[in-house]
Amino acid sequence: MNMEFPGEVHPKEEKAMKTPEEYVEEYLAGQNIRLAWRNNLKSKLMKLVRWLGEQDLSLCEVGARAAALYAEYLVNLGLARNTVCTLLVAATRFYGFLLRRKLISSNPLLEIRKPKMDKLLPRHLPKPREMDEYLEKLSRFEEEENLFYKLRRYRAHVLAEFLYSTGTRVGEAACVKIGDVDLARGVVKVTDSKSHKEKLCFLNEFALTVLRIYLERFRKYYVPDAAGKIFCASENRLAATLSMVTSKLSSRYGYTHLTCHAFRHAFGYHMLKAGCDIRYIQTFLGHEKLSSTQIYTKVDRDDLKAVLDTCHPRTFNHEKAAL
């Protein structure tokens, strides 16, 4: 089925046009992202490429109407709204790359309406007790077979405690310098990666002890950082290290794998469950809008069942039943 729409597109003539797959590879090569993210992005873009092939369209023949049909196709697949949105965002950024290469005169994906993403918590976020067990097992760095793996797991342990205590993003943690940490007061100066504003984050007693031991006794064993960053590594390096260690830990003990961002979500979720006012959590996490924090009010079914059993007036009275 050919769907050319005259007047909507103006592809640039080239002596030897590359295949869509080659343009995808060229686009990915310019992305400074981790390998797992790159592979995920590639799978999103290849879905677009396959659809174009089925419609007998080239990359440069896509106008607003064809872009709208692609969006409709994704919706009709029965995909979740957030999945459809991320696929369209990936396609939009890819077409932005084609526009910068002057292969097209405008970005057709910018001309269509996209579904609004639902704010969702990660699936299977651990309960507070499960998180305690997870972090305790993560701290057993002496289990590793050699010094390299011991040091890798130890830094992952310190980083996890830092993220879970402060609610920071891993990129923010990577930028924290020694001078930003006040061990006496248990506070850390952090620059929010979204608003770029400085905020104060707090270390609980356990995380403070862990960080103090790391800074005073073990940081010297890692490659020195000229800028004085406490974790002596870039965001990508820290994220990859924590991901590798937690993935191995999850496989060994049967836990759900936790991403770096899951520790931030767990912080907000567990603080709310413990009775912390949502506006305090908003401040802790650095959310400019309260609506961003309200994601943590979406409790799971177990919580709802526990509330019902505790609060409903028709709770079963075993003593009366025995009479």
Domain-embedded: residue 310: no
pLDDT at 100: 93
**41, 159: one domain:** no
Regarding whether 292 and 200 lie in a shared domain, the answer is: yes
Residues 149, 203, single domain; the answer is yes
Of 33, 51, 35, the C-alpha closest to 88 is 51
| pLDDT, tens digit (0-9, with 9 covering 90-100), for 294-311 | 777 765 555 655 666 666
Q: Which two tokens stand for residue 277?
A: 């006012």
- Asked if residue 307 is part of any domain, the answer here is no
Domain end, chosen from 49, 76, 111, is at 111
| Residues 100 and 188 grouped into a single domain | no
Return the exposure string of 49-73: e unless at least 16 CB atoms fall within 10 Å of the residue's CB, then b: bebbeebebebbbbbbebbebbbee
Residue 120 lies in a domain: no
Amino acid 255: pLDDT = 81
| CATH of residue 148 | 1.10.443.10
pLDDT at 78: 87
Residues 158 and 105 occupy one common structural domain: no
Evaluate whether residue 250 is within a structural domain.
Answer: yes
Same domain, 185 and 263: yes
- Domain identity same for 173 and 62: no
Q: Are 106 and 142 members of one domain?
A: no
**How far apart, in whole angstroms, are the C-alpha atoms of residue 152 and residue 297?**
35
Contact 296, 268 (CB under 8 A): yes
Beta carbons within 8 Å of 124's beta carbon, 6+ residues apart: 256
Let me know whether 195 and 75 are in one domain: no
What does the pLDDT profile of the chain (323 residues) look like in tens digits? 444 444 344 444 444 478 999 999 999 998 988 787 889 999 999 999 999 999 999 988 899 999 999 999 999 998 888 889 999 999 999 999 999 999 999 999 998 887 776 665 566 678 889 999 999 999 999 999 999 999 999 999 999 999 999 999 999 999 999 999 999 999 999 998 888 889 999 999 999 999 999 999 999 999 887 789 999 999 999 999 999 999 898 888 888 788 888 899 999 889 888 888 888 888 888 888 887 777 777 655 556 556 666 666 765 555 544 44
The residue from 61, 78, 111 where one domain ends is: 111
Domain assignment present for residue 4? The answer is no
- Do 269 and 133 fall into the same domain? yes
Which residues span the domain enclosing 268? 128-299
Residue 314, domain member (yes or no): no
- Alpha helices (runs of H) in the chain, residue ranges in sequence order: 20-29, 35-54, 64-76, 81-100, 128-138, 147-166, 170-175, 205-213, 235-253, 260-273, 278-285, 290-293, 301-311, 318-322
CATH number assigned to the domain comprising residue 56:
1.10.150.130
Q: Are 177 and 99 part of one and the same domain?
A: no
Is residue 223 included in any domain, yes or no? yes
Boundary of a domain, candidates 47, 80, 111: 111
Ordered DSSP codes for 269-321 = HHHHHTT--HHHHHHHHT-SSHHHHGGGG---HHHHHHHHHHH-TT---HHHH
Query: Do residues 100 and 214 share a domain?
Result: no
Identify whether 116 is part of a domain.
Answer: no
Say how many domains are in the chain.
2
How confident is the model at residue 10, as a pLDDT?
46
